[in-house]
Amino acid sequence: MTNSEKNRLKDKAFQVFGIFCTFIGLVVLGIFLFDIILEGAKRIDWDFLVSLPSRRASRAGILTAWVGTIWILLLTTIIAFPLGVSAGVYLEEYAKKTKLANFLEINISNLAGVPSIIYGLLGLEIFVRQMRLGSSLLAGALTLSLLILPIIIVTTREAIKAVPRSIRDGSFALGASKWQTVWHQVLPASFGGILTGIILALSRAVGEAAPLIVIGALAYVPFTPSSPLDEFTVLPIQIFNWTSRPQEAFLTNAAAAIIILLIITFMLNGIAVYLRNRQQKKIKW
């Protein structure tokens, strides 16, 4: 066998190996989805969506859970969006390259890696106890906001960084101030990217159970929340709760709830992909 034949064989072998690796993840996900859908699809109907939780599996629904999830999503967005984007803009556009800025930067990256349960503990101490918000939607949203803030800051910075220096120069050269440049040029041009980041961050928040459990979100809430200070539950907690029951029927309920949760997550991801594509089509540097 000549050298070049050997090389070609190696090349082929690696290609096959690569395909195998790529598919492992997809196959596992596929099996999981298949299993879940097989188990839970038959349980999903209108009643399941609009019924309150119950001790009897066949009568239990997820109304309070998904309404709670939507509440949490909205509140988290309202809190985390302005904070995260502002912080990102500050760090990228205004902050001088000082030691303090470096310190901030490293720590924001670190925050993104902190386990979510730690945020739960933080939220419990600050929001639930110190601020006396109790185990309310607001406390939960604040906690989740903390959790996704680093992600939003990082993606905002990335999106802002993608706006070419030349656009800023062009704006400055026409006499625009820093704020005018950010407001008229940088933010509009990077908005798609920022939005994508926020939605991806939200789709992470939507699946979190641990920090909310820590701050005391309930598994059993017999009413839909009507104000940010109400107690609440969310889908992941409901699922967690049901899977820990011994009865087979509750497991089916859990599977059905997982399908709903996945649909919400996929929808959020879908919106993110759509926005990113539209942005890329609109602006070519």
Partner 1 sequence: MSKKQPKLEARDLNAYYGDFHALKNINIAMEEKNVTAFIGPSGCGKSTFLRLFNRMNDYIDGFKVEGNILLDGNDIYQKDVRVDELRKQVGMVFQKPNPFPKTIFENVVYGLRIQGIKNKAVLEETAERSLRDAALWDEVKDNLNKSALALSGGQQQRLCIARALAISPSVILMDEPASALDPISTAKIEELIYELKNDYTIVIVTHNMQQAGRVSDYTAFFYMGELVEFNKTKTMFTSPKDERTQNYITGRFG
- Separation between Cα atoms, residue 202 and residue 258, nearest integer Å: 17
- Separation between Cα atoms, residue 109 and residue 122, nearest integer Å: 18
State which of residues 189, 202, 237, 254 lies at the interface with partner 1 (CB under 8 A): 189
Identify whether the C-beta of residue 137 lies closer than 8 Å to the C-beta of residue 68. yes
Q: In angstroms, what is the minimal distance from the CB of 196 to partner 1?
A: 17
Nearer to partner 1, 69 or 171 (CB): 171
- Separation between Cα atoms, residue 277 and residue 145, nearest integer Å: 26
Indicate whether 222 belongs to the interface with partner 1 (CB under 8 A).
no
Nearer to partner 1, 21 or 173 (CB): 173
Q: In angstroms, what is the minimal distance from the CB of 54 to partner 1?
A: 54
Nearer to partner 1, 132 or 284 (CB): 284
Q: In angstroms, what is the minimal distance from the CB of 174 to partner 1?
A: 4
State which of residues 49, 52, 111, 176 lies at the interface with partner 1 (CB under 8 A): 176
Helix (H) or strand (E) holding 237: helix 235-243
Nearer to partner 1, 107 or 180 (CB): 180
Identify whether the C-beta of residue 109 lies closer than 8 Å to the C-beta of residue 47. no
SS3 218: coil
Residues 42-101 that bind partner 1 (CB under 8 A): 96-97
Q: Which one-letter DSSP state was computed for residue 168?
A: H
Residues 95-134 that bind partner 1 (CB under 8 A): 96-97
Nearer to partner 1, 90 or 240 (CB): 90
Nearer to partner 1, 97 or 132 (CB): 97
State which of residues 185, 243, 265, 269 lies at the interface with partner 1 (CB under 8 A): 185
State which of residues 103, 184, 229, 278 lies at the interface with partner 1 (CB under 8 A): 184
Q: Which one-letter DSSP state was computed for residue 273?
A: H
SS3 231: strand
Nearer to partner 1, 24 or 174 (CB): 174
Query: How big is the CA angle at 248 (ends 245 and 251), to the nearest 5 degrees?
Result: 65
- The tally of CA atoms less than 13 A away on the side-chain side of residue 194 is 24
From 63-71, 108-116, 171-179, 223-231, span contacting partner 1 (CB under 8 A):
171-179
Indicate whether 283 belongs to the interface with partner 1 (CB under 8 A).
yes
Nearer to partner 1, 137 or 189 (CB): 189
Question: Residue 44's closest CA among 218, 257, 231, 245?
Answer: 257
Indicate whether 170 belongs to the interface with partner 1 (CB under 8 A).
yes
Q: Which one-letter DSSP state was computed for residue 8?
A: H
Token couple for 280: 């890329």
Three-state SS across 29-47? HHHHHHHHHHHHHHHCCHH
Non-local CB neighbours of 205 within 8 Å, separated by 6+ positions: 72, 73, 76, 144, 147, 148
Indicate whether 284 belongs to the interface with partner 1 (CB under 8 A).
yes
Indicate whether 171 belongs to the interface with partner 1 (CB under 8 A).
yes
State which of residues 52, 112, 167, 251 lies at the interface with partner 1 (CB under 8 A): 167
Chain residues binding partner 1 by CB under 8 A are 96-97, 164, 166-167, 169-177, 180, 184-185, 188-189, 282-284
